[in-house]
Amino acid sequence: KDLKYLIPDYLEECRKKNILQVRIIHGKGIGNLRRTVHSILQKIPAVVSFRLAGAGGGSWGATLVDLRKLQE
């Protein structure tokens, strides 16, 4: 499945389960996948913020995403 569909679908399922912080592992490599993931995240209204993970969480090979709570 294409990332532009997979990431929003995954994040929406997380929100339904009240999981409001997720880690997306994209690997370190040369950064193409990281840039693609960040570009997709910027377009998702449910994303409050995102940042590269710290040293203990994957460093620049993973992105932490904070999500808005679903309205009930």
pLDDT digits (tens, 9 = 90+) for 2-25: 989 999 999 999 999 999 999 999
Task: Label residue 56 left, alpha or beta by phi (over 0 means left) and psi (-120 to 50 means alpha).
Answer: alpha
pLDDT digits (tens, 9 = 90+) for 16-54: 999 999 999 999 989 899 999 999 999 999 999 999 998
Q: Which domains does the chain have, with CATH numbers?
A: 3-67 (3.30.1370.110)
Pairwise CA distance, residues 8 & 47, whole Å:
10
Categorize the per-residue pLDDT at 56 as very low, low, confident or very high, splitting at 50, 70 and 90. Answer: confident
Both tokens assigned to 72: 């009930």
Rounded to an integer, what is the distance from CA 56 to the centroid of its chain?
17
Q: Say what the pTM is.
A: 0.90
